[in-house]
Amino acid sequence: FFGDFEAFKSRRSDTFLNTIPTEQMKSGDFAGIKPIFDPLSIREDPAQPDGFLRTRFPADLIPASRLSPIALKYVDLYPTAQIPALANNYLSNAVKKEDSYTTDIRLDHGISQNDLFYARYSFNHTGSLIPGPLPRKGDIEPGGSTNYVGPATQVAQGLHLNYVHIVSPQMVAELKGGYSRYSIATLPPNYGKNVSQEFGIPNANLDLLSSGLTLVTISGYLPLGDSGSIPINVIDNTFQYLGSLTYSRDRHTIKAGADFRRCQYTKFNEPSGRGLYSFNSNFTNDPSGAVPRSGDAMASFLLGFPDATQRYRLLVWPGLRMSEVAAYVQDDWKVSSSLTLNLGVRWELFTPVTEVADRIGNIDLAAGKLLVAGKDGVSRTAGVPTDWKNIAPRFGFAWTMSPSTVLRGGYGITWVPAIGGSISSMATPPFTSSLAVSNTPLTPTNSLSDGFPLPIPDSTDPLLVSGGINSASLDRKTPKVQQYNLTLQQKVAANVMVSASYVGALSRNQWNVFNVNLASPGPGPIAPRRQYAKLFPKLSNIRMHESTGTGNYHALQMNLEHRMSRGLNLSANYTWAHSIDDNIGVSSGGKPSAGPYPQLSTNRSLERGNSDLDIRHRFVVLSNYALPFGNNLRGVAGVLGKGWQINGVLVLQSGQSFTVSNSSSRANTGGGDRPNRVGVGTLPNPTIHRYIDAAAFELQPLYQIGNAGRNILYGPSQKGLDCSVFKEFALRERMQLQF
């Protein structure tokens, strides 16, 4: 029998340095701050073809009668700036809470000399509270982040059964069964309070799931409201059954087996159930460009004119079902005393997603129609085919070239199941209700006071369906990774070994979320220029979950290992690597991702670049040293003087890649935007105040895509050193206390 219990409680201060509006700006006064123009005064410029003019607000002051009452209630949630600066003017510290409880129970039973059985059950409950950067205003939490601010609960549990039967001295059979359950409940800070309704936004708070405060993102300033991505409710059940047979004879050890998994996945996540507004400086700038650095996102917000408006409601809680089947055989063949081969092959099947009541759908771009599972001849997988050709060969070898030199290598293909998130759930009409309003940089078409229409099921008529839609490619392929490596190991001393390895991985058919309905760059309304405007004239974003992504990883890995000797254990390794991919990603809320590299256009080649995980250099040292003194001491001196150990971890790592983006789009495609790169962008001596050379980037001409690539610069390097000291007290022969 074995049992354990562990409790972990954490109270940690999170420090936030953010930009909030000054008291002068909250009243609509931008005198001496930014030149601001009246968005309702837009008119053609007679001196320039295709040019436009606006009238500047007198004294750069918005008249009180023009200020949005809803926006004024929002900006009242901002505290007073701590310093007169216009940027990084508010510093706060908030407490992040986490309480976790874990327990395990295990039983091992020797049924007979040839039959062994064990069972294990594990349970974990974690509750956390993620704070926002702004203090509470009365009974309202201002939010201040697009991340998951608020309380969350996660519960994980699993049961595992294992039975081993020794058939003969050469053959062993093993049967396994398992069940795991993972549930998540993440709530917004203002859950249960209809704050948006109190502020005057029509139809934002319709039920408990859409309660809270509608999120507004204001370019250059701290956002306000509850994150659009919560609440999140997830229940994930997995049932697994495995069987294997191992046979050893002469120089061969052959293992064959099969694996079956059944997955039940329920996820309710409305990316913008209470709505989402975003604001930039387009509506308050000088469109002619005669007045430089004009316009401000806070001014646009105070006027109540959003750049984009979204709402996405999920009208059902989909119960998704997926199965995974695998069979394999492997032979570990000891060819000679110096050479061992590992030969194997594995076949895997990952079934497409189905839903218990066929409440999923898809889109057929070629036919120009929406598909509903189980209706009008559409399969229960909503047209997504099953990929039966997932053959995975494996090859490996180990060659002892001399008593102190070993050469190892291997090659294998790994097939990866598609993720079960909100994109691949294929939540489509008529099971959704969506709204997406994207304005041109010149003319606002809606305001905060307009709110949102009442949600109704999205139409399946191609001419009427609107907003954004989730979909999965009808030529689905299973993602795969080809991995290969070659390692030379050399023993240089009795307890010291060095090795050098080349490691490569080629990712193909990776499932990316790609918006295939962006518009071509140009002036005027976006909708008529979208790729599928003729087939789906009212549809904005078509977020296609497609298997077209690629990635390449290559690395040189070097390792030095000093195995335990005289109390010292040490390992040092260095990796020099490069990773490239085109995984751009789009959020599921009807708007291109607000991440570091929003999608520019439907041209995939523009998104290929250094991957997010492209860390060029990494050096790690791990050490444990049992101090040699005190071993011969007795009595109190022995109790206090011996049994000491020191440990250390040193990590040196180059920075991660990042993308330089425009704060507001100029290409007018409905997607993201990057500037033109006119210089290198790096500085010889960067500081936290000026890390990149901003002069190396400039705004590209209006209605064009900038030439700056994705993830072209690298952030600061990381240096970490962790140390610990242990002392062991021998209480009894079978009992020790570690301090």
pLDDT digits (tens, 9 = 90+) for 54-95: 999 999 999 999 999 999 999 999 999 999 999 999 999 999
Which residues are registered as beta bridge partners of 653?
618, 718
Cβ–Cβ under 8 Å, residues 374 and 361? no
Range 258-266 average pLDDT: 94
Range 617-627 average pLDDT: 95
Exposure class string for 499-526: b at 16+ Cβ within 10 A, else e: bebebebebbbbbbbbbbbbbebeeeeb
Confidence tier at 590 by pLDDT (50, 70, 90): very low
Flag whether pLDDT at 422 surpasses 80: no
Flag whether pLDDT at 421 surpasses 70: no
Assessment of whether the complete model's pTM goes beyond 0.95: no
Say how many C-beta atoms besides its own lie within 10 A of residue 696's C-beta.
18
pLDDT digits (tens, 9 = 90+) for 89-141: 999 999 999 999 999 999 999 999 999 999 999 999 999 999 999 999 999 99
The alpha carbon of 37 is separated from its chain's Cα centroid by a whole number of angstroms, namely 38
| Residue closest to 170 by CA, chosen among 55, 257, 79, 251 | 251
pLDDT for res 595: 38
Range 148-167 average pLDDT: 96
Confidence tier at 200 by pLDDT (50, 70, 90): very high
Which residues are registered as beta bridge partners of 206?
none
Least confident of 230-234, 418-422, 605-609: 418-422
pLDDT digits (tens, 9 = 90+) for 30-40: 999 999 999 99
| Residue closest to 77 by CA, chosen among 143, 147, 151 | 143
pLDDT for res 563: 87
Which secondary-structure segment (H or E) carries 373? none
pLDDT for res 419: 60
